[in-house]
């Protein structure tokens, strides 16, 4: 589990948190272990932007010595003209909810969680599944692990909102302290107002890349091998989950997002 250390005063928490990330290799999101490994192969006629996007992703994979999916007629994200990106307000709400879940997973005192809920109207932003965890007085260890990994999803939301300049290669976990600090220094109104959405192209480029990185991780898992090039398969999974939600993959709500490879 990631751990929080108090380092200075901050807003309603009265503290800002510097978070270390100390998950063991066995601490993985529950959905990652139970989701289908692959989907049936679909042969499609790719559009120009799909072909270009795939080529760009595969070039990076080659540079990193990551295996490439060979079938040229499948494994694509939808073409740009068929994708609708989530709205800025949807992404802001999701970021705030994910931040709350992560902090609860750290064992933050209930009085502080309640204040965050009140100040940021968190309850209204939670999904039904998330509410079950948020209101549980004795959540299971797996529930805590799943919520803790949502910091990686928060990282994607912050990137999509323009608060993070670049997504690093997913071989290590995000800096939670830096991400949480963004939200609590701005407060909700400024956090929402100052957000500058990434373009559809930028988001689709990342969605295509993470699709291929997740395929490589799944392929390695099937073969009982380590993930290639030091990829952190749990970070890759969370990014894939979050980016699929951003591009409204299969019109799935947050609790039901799938990460087909």
Residue 233 included in any domain: yes
The mean per-residue pLDDT over the stretch 95-113 comes to 97
Report the predicted TM-score, pTM, of the whole model to 2 decimal places: 0.89
Q: Is residue 251 part of a domain?
A: yes
Assigned domain for 11 exists: no
Please report whether residue 14 resides in a domain: no
Each residue of 119-132: pLDDT tens digit? 999 999 999 999 99
Whether 38 maps to a domain, the answer reads: no
Q: Which domain holds residue 134?
A: 59-261
Q: How far apart are CA 229 and CA 227, in angstroms?
A: 7
pLDDT in tens, 214-232: 999 999 999 999 999 999 9
Domain assignment present for residue 112? The answer is yes
Q: Which tokens go with 45?
A: 């006629």
- Say if CB 191 and CB 92 are below 8 A apart: yes
pLDDT band at 1 (very low <50, low <70, confident <90, very high): low
Q: Compute φ and ψ for 2, nearest 5 degrees.
A: -70, 150
Query: Is the pLDDT confidence value at 26 over 90?
Result: no
Say whether pLDDT at 58 is over 50: yes
Within a 10 A sphere around the Cβ of 102, how many other Cβ atoms? 25
Report pLDDT digits (tens) over 74-94. 999 999 999 999 999 999 999
Domain count for the chain, please give it. 1
The answer, yes or no, to whether residue 19 has pLDDT greater than 90, is: no
pLDDT of res. 44: 85
Query: Residue 107 domain-assigned?
Result: yes
In a domain, 226, yes or no: yes
Each residue's pLDDT tens digit, 134-176: 999 999 999 999 999 999 999 999 999 999 999 999 999 999 9
């Amino acid at each position: 589990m990631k751990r929080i250390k108090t380092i200075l005063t901050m807003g309603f928490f009265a503290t800002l948190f510097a978070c270390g990330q100390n998950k063991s290799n066995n601490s993985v999101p529950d959905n990652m272990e139970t989701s289908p490994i692959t989907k049936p192969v679909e042969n499609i006629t790719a559009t120009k932007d799909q072909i270009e996007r795939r080529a760009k992703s595969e070039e990076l994979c080659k540079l990193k010595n990551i295996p490439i999916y060979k079938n040229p007629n499948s494994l694509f994200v939808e073409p740009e003209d068929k994708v609708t990106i989530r709205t800025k307000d949807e992404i802001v709400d999701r970021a705030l909810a994910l931040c709350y879940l992560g902090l609860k997973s750290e064992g933050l005192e209930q009085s502080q969680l309640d204040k965050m809920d009140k100040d940021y109207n968190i309850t209204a932003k939670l999904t039904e599944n998330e509410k079950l965890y948020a209101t549980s007085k004795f959540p299971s260890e797996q529930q805590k692990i799943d919520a803790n990994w949502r910091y990686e999803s928060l990282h994607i939301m912050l990137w999509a909102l323009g608060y993070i300049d670049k997504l690093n290669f997913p071989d290590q976990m995000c800096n939670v302290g830096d991400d949480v600090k963004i939200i609590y220094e701005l407060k909700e109104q400024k956090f929402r107002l100052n957000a500058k959405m990434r373009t559809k192209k930028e988001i689709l480029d990342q969605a295509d890349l993470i699709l291929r990185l997740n395929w490589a991780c799944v392929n390695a898992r099937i073969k009982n091998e380590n993930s290639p090039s030091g990829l952190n398969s749990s970070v890759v999974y969370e990014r894939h989950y979050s980016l699929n939600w951003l591009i409204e993959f299969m019109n799935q709500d947050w609790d039901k997002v799938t990460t087909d490879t």
